[in-house]
Every structure is written in C-alpha cells, then in structure tokens.
Amino acid sequence: MKMKQKVFTYSLVLLLIILVQSLFAEVRQVREDQIIVKVKSSKQIDDIALDYNLIVSDSIYVKKTFLLNIPDDRELSVVIDLLNDDKRVLNVSENATVGLPEVFQISQGFPDENRPVFNLGVEPINFYEQSGNYSIGIDSAQVLSKGEGVVVAVIDNGLAIEHPLFEEANIVFYHDYITGNNNQNINPPNTDHGTFVTGLILLTAPECTIMPIRAFDENGISDQFTLTKSINWAINHGADIINLSF
C-alpha cells in the first residue's frame, strides 16, 4: 500500500510540474540542445541515439526515460518530430528550465548590522517565538505530532548545513545533482532559498528527518529532467513527503 501511495505521489507531482510549465509556456525557456525521451525498452536507447545522431547524456533507466543531446545545429522541433514517428519511442518532450521564485533570502539565523532588522533598530526575534507560528496553530498541531519518523525530501538549491537551526536536526542522504558532490559538509553557494524552506519545515515538524536534494544551481535554475531524477531519487530512498517550493 505504501509503495502504491508513493507511485501515486510521484505521478501527481510530475503532473503538477507539467501543468505549471504549461501555464507559463510563453515565457519558459528550453534547453535547445536537449530532449527527454521515454522508450518502450531501455535496451533500445543506444540504437535510437545512433539512428538519429544523438548522444545519451543521462538516464532514469528503470523508468525508460533518457536525456539526449543534439550534437549539431538541427532545430529541436525537427528532432522531436522525427522521434515522435519512431515506434520504439513512447514520448518525446523538450527539457524546459525551471526557476526558483526567490534565490537570495535573508535568514535571521545569521544576524549582523547589515541586516534590515538591525537597520530598523529592532533586535531579531527568536525563531521559535514568531507570532506567525501561533496564528497558524503550530503549537496545537505539535500536540498531535512533531514529525517523528517522517522523512521529508526538500528539492531545492541546497542547504547551509552550518546554520544553527540544523545543529540537532535529523539530516540524511544529502544529494547534489548540480555538482555531484554529495558531502553535506561542503556547502554550495547561494543556498538561501533551500535553507529558508528547510527551516520552515523544521519549525513546523522539528522531529522530522530532512532529505536535502540540490537540483537548482547557484542562480536558482534547474530543468525538468533534473527535477524528475530528483523526485525519483527521493522516492527510492524512502521519502514520505517531497517538498517542491518553486
């Protein structure tokens, strides 16, 4: 039953990504030299790539889904049309980019004289004593649960692991799809958004386990294939909840 729920969640999240992207179809950007292909059999992908002079650059093998690079100046639409006519191919799509709504955010976990809160002459408030916490009923919710035993995957632009809020947090399986360096003690640049989002999750459920997955670069940019891989990775590593704040 739990596996069926995860599969349903995976499908629902992918559908939401597609719907959001379609709403912003006029302004979104695509990687002009890449396409995402789902095939009937993963064993056929090398032959397909050879037939159309494409390069297999990445894969979600068990999902029969591959990222192919176009090594020449052919138009993306031309290659997509060719593959759509191939009976070995189930689906072809562009690899559209996805951006975070806010890349650089301020955290009161590191207050200094340059922060707006000091510029206004106000001392930073305690993170756990913010009035908003009570207005949304966090105290009442935590009587029922503080998240113990729940694994929350946060797909974002990374995590500043040295932030004081995370000193006693349960953090597992840090995974970085941007650099490939999965050492959680090496902080990538510009992790403000991911740190901010993770802080909100721990504020609500302080006993949950966080699974940080870095899918956005230092400029807050990712793409559909990277996000699909991230979601698939989270499911395969035991995530109960997947947070997508973008």
* pLDDT (tens place) for every residue of the chain, 246 residues total: 555 555 455 555 555 555 555 544 444 689 999 999 999 999 999 999 999 999 999 999 889 999 999 999 999 999 999 999 999 999 999 999 998 876 555 544 444 555 554 455 555 555 566 666 777 788 888 899 999 999 999 999 988 887 777 888 899 888 999 988 777 666 677 788 888 889 889 888 999 999 999 999 988 899 999 999 999 999 999 999 999 988
Give me the domains of the chain, ranges plus CATH numbers.
Answer: 29-97 (3.30.70.920), 116-243 (3.40.50.200)
Beta strands 170-171; 221-223: pairing state: unpaired
pLDDT for 192: 82
Strand, helix or coil for residue 155: strand
C-alpha–C-alpha distance, residues 65 and 56, integer Å:
11
C-alpha–C-alpha distance, residues 218 and 232, integer Å:
22
Q: What is the pTM of this model?
A: 0.77
pLDDT for 109: 46
Strand, helix or coil for residue 193: helix
Dihedral-angle region of residue 22 (phi above 0 means left; psi in -120 to 50 means alpha; beta otherwise): alpha
Please compute, for residue 5, the number of CA atoms within 13 A of its CA located in the half-sphere on the CB side.
Answer: 7
pLDDT for 177: 92
pLDDT for 179: 85
C-alpha–C-alpha distance, residues 82 and 51, integer Å:
11
